[in-house]
Every structure is written in structure tokens, then in C-alpha cells.
Amino acid sequence: MIRFEPRTRTPLALRLLLPVLSVLAALALAAIPLALAGAPVWTAYAGIATGAAGSLFALTETLTRATPLLFTGLAAAIAFRARLFNIGAEGQLYLGALAAVAVGSGAIALPPPLVLPAILVAAFAAGALLMLGPALLKTRLGVDEVVTTLLLNFVVLLFVQMMLEGPFKDPMGGGWPQSEPILPEGALPPLFERMRVHAGLLLALAAAIAAQVLMGRTTLGLKIRAVGDNPAASRFAGIGITGVTVTVAVLSGGLAGLAGASEVAGLKGYLTSDLSRGFGYAGIVVATLAGLQPLAVVPAALFVAGIFVGADTMSRQVGVSNYVADLIVALALLCVLVGGLFQRYRPRWS
């Protein structure tokens, strides 16, 4: 009979190995339906690897897909660490993109050097404001932020669609519901010629480093961790729970808003209602795979992006739907959650 005893300390090696083992377990489990579908498993996985990093173009496409995942993964990691369960990064992304277009399409006259900084500030502020409401409702009235942030996603998407059909619609867009384009001086420049990866990636990496320093080296980071670990003890120690929660909400929503700005200012150049491929929800998976550690969000985002990008190549090579990428990512999430049991408890035979 197996019983589980709480661990007093989790070994560093176990914390480092769990995400790797979880990914390997997910790939092994995903091989079962691949084999049942008649696909050669090794060829399928080789196709994913080739499609994700087999050439400079493939690698840059993976980095392009990873950029918004870095922002939304950081947004979820910081919020979840303080037990503020932000499920609304998708809506915050869209509202940030809408604010970026409102500032960067020429509606506000700004000197050219200030256009891009204004776009980023507006996107951050829009995402932060959207998350601020659920945070205050939680701290003041005890309203569950999971419900409010999730429902706000649908409200924001409908609002964006209304704006794209109305005042934000590009009169030169050929009838399609899209915004006016971002001015050239407001665009995030590409990192490689004729490639889609852009400077938003560098901004996301800088945000990951800053978040790691914040969480691990500052008083605010200590307060965030304390509130997440034990709110009652934190309150007893004199930590302002409301202040910490509001600060985390602003950071989390703002980072998700920057994901929207990076997509419109760096990739598309304008806003459409299908801007996101579920980046807000995928960011939760990225944060969980990273163990809520900001720097670990980087490899986690690259893994998820590589699976989705590589699945298209795999689908063409072996004739299996690229929806297998969703299966692999979902299994990786489940394996990490199961692995968390062994991180907190030690199995004993009796």
C-alpha cells in the first residue's frame, strides 16, 4: 500500500526534472492515439521538431508564436503566485490591442519617437484596468475572480467586434472588420529581414528577466510570495493584502495587454477579431509548465509554441490532424499537475 507524506523540503533536482519528465510523459501518452491513427510515431515527432526548429524560417516562426505566450504566461505566473487566478488574459490581450490601435493609428498626434512608447503604455494600462475591477471585487466583496475574469473575456471580444464594425473600422479595408493600420513609426521592427519575428520578443524576454528579479530580489516579490503561500499569516504580519493584490492585478493585466500590442504593432499591423489564437488561455498552460517561475516561462513558451508550429509540418508529412498539438499540450499540463503531487508529497510503501 502506498501512502503519501508531506515533504518538508522539495529537492532542487526534483523541481528541475519534473517539467522535463512531464513533457516526456505527455509525448509518450500522445503516441498512443498517433499509433492508433496509423501514423509512424517517430516520423510524426520528427516532423514536429523539423517544423519547429528545422530551419531559420521554422525557428523564427516558433519565436513569433512564443512572443505573446511569453507575455500571457508571465501574466498568469505572477497572478497565480499571489493566488489571484487571472483567467482573463485573453480579454486583456484584446483590450490592449484595441488601445494600441487607438493610439498608434494616428488618431492622436504624437511626435514620431513617442508613438511606439505611447502604444506600449496604452496597451499596458488597458490590460491593467481590465484586471483591476475583478481584483477590487475580490478584495472588497469576496467575488470569485475566476468567474469575473473569464466572463470579461467574452464581453471584451464583443466590444472589440463592435468597435471594428464601427468607429475603428478601416474605410480602406475592403469591407472586412479590421482597424486602421498602425503608423510605421509605431511598429515593432523585425529582428531578421523577410522574417516575421519582431522586437516584441526582446520586450517579452526583458519582461521575464524583470519579473524574475521582482519576485526573487525585492520586498514586493517577498510580499507576493507570502500572500500566495499564506494570506492569513501575511495579514497577521502586517502585509496589506489589498495593496499586494491590486499591484499584482495591474502587473498581470498589463503584461497581457502588452501581448496584444506586440501582435498588432509587431506582427499584423492592425487589429482583427481573430488576432489571438487562444494566447490568453495558453498562457495559463505556459505558467503551469513553468511552475509559476518567470524565467522558466521562457522555455515553457518555446515548447508550447514549437508544438503548435511543428504540428502543421507533422500533419502534412503523416496525414494526421494538427489538433494533436492541443492533445500534447493538454497532456503536458495534466502530467505537470500530477507531478506536483510528488513535489509536495513523498510516496511511502507500507
50 and 58 Cβ atoms separated by less than 8 Å: yes
What pLDDT shows up at residue 177?
86
What pLDDT shows up at residue 171?
80
12 pLDDT more than 80: no
- Main-chain phi, psi angles of 197, to 5 degrees: -65, 140
Q: 178: which strand partners?
A: 272
What average pLDDT does the segment 211-237 reach?
Answer: 92
260 pLDDT more than 90: yes
71 and 297 Cβ atoms separated by less than 8 Å: no
130 — pLDDT class (breaks 50, 70, 90): very high
Q: Residues 262-307: pLDDT tens digits? A: 999 999 999 999 999 899 999 999 999 998 999 999 999 999 999 9
81 and 287 Cβ atoms separated by less than 8 Å: no
Distance CA 345, CA 286 (A): 23
What average pLDDT does the segment 183-188 reach?
Answer: 93
User: Which grid coordinates are listed for 57?
Assistant: 524560417
Residues sharing a CB contact under 8 Å with residue 143, sequence separation 6 or more, in sequence order = 134, 137
174 — pLDDT class (breaks 50, 70, 90): low
Distance CA 137, CA 159 (A): 21
Query: What average pLDDT does the structure give for the chain?
Result: 91
What pLDDT shows up at residue 173?
66
13 pLDDT more than 90: no
Indicate the residue type of 145: E
What average pLDDT does the segment 6-16 reach?
Answer: 74
What average pLDDT does the segment 59-74 reach?
Answer: 96
3-state secondary structure the chain: CEEEEECCCCCHHHHHHHHHHHHHHHHHHHHHHHHHCCCCHHHHHHHHHHHHHCCHHHHHHHHHHHHHHHHHHHHHHHHHHCCCCCCCHHHHHHHHHHHHHHHHCCCCCCCHHHHHHHHHHHHHHHHHHHHHHHHHHHHHHCCCHHHHHHHHHHHHHHHHHHHHHCCCECCCCCCCCEECCCCHHHCCCECCCCCCCECHHHHHHHHHHHHHHHHHHCHHHHHHHHHHHCHHHHHHCCCCHHHHHHHHHHHHHHHHHHHHHHHHHHHHCCCECCCCCCHHHHHHHHHHHCCCCCCCHHHHHHHHHHHHHHHHHHHHHHCCCCCHHHHHHHHHHHHHHHHHHHHHEEEEEC
What average pLDDT does the segment 35-42 reach?
Answer: 87
